[in-house]
Amino acid sequence: MAKILVLGGSRYFGKRLVNRLAGSGRHDVTAATRGQMEVRFEAPVTQLRLDRTDENSLREAAAAGPWDIVYDNICFSPNEALAAVRAFQGRVGHYILTSTLSVYKLGKVPLAEADFDPYGYELKLGDKQAFDYGEGKRLAEAALFQEADFPVSALRIPIVLGPDDYTRRLHFHVEHVQQGLPIGVPNLDAAISFITSAETAKFLAWLGETRLTGPINACSDGEITIGGILRLIESVTGKTALIERETAPEHQSPFGIPTSWVMDNTKARETGYRFEALDEWLPELVRHIAASELKE
Please give the C-alpha separations between residue 196 and each of 78, 133, 158, in angstroms, as whole numbers.
27, 20, 10
pLDDT confidence of residue 296 = 55
CB 22 within 8 A of CB 36: no
pLDDT confidence of residue 116 = 97
pLDDT confidence of residue 42 = 83
Per-residue HEC secondary structure of 229-258 comes to HHHHHHHHHCCCCEEECCCCHHHECCCCCC
CA distance 157 to 217: 6
Domains 2-159+195-217 and 161-194+221-263+277-295 share a fold: no
Strands 152-157 and 46-49: unpaired
pLDDT confidence of residue 9 = 78
Q: Which CATH superfamily is domain 161-194+221-263+277-295 in?
A: UDP-galactose 4-epimerase, domain 1 (3.90.25.10)
pLDDT confidence of residue 119 = 98
**% of the chain with per-residue pLDDT over 70:** 98
Average pLDDT per 10 consecutive residues for the chain, totaling 296 residues: 90 91 91 80 89 94 95 97 97 98 92 98 96 97 98 98 93 96 96 97 96 96 97 97 92 94 97 97 96 69
pLDDT confidence of residue 295 = 61
pLDDT confidence of residue 245 = 86
CA distance 208 to 157: 16
pLDDT confidence of residue 26 = 86
Q: How far is CA 128 from the centre of its chain?
A: 17
Pick the CATH number of 2-159+195-217 from 3.40.50.720, 3.30.70.260, 3.30.230.20, 3.10.130.10: 3.40.50.720
Question: So where are the chain's domains?
Answer: 2-159+195-217, 161-194+221-263+277-295
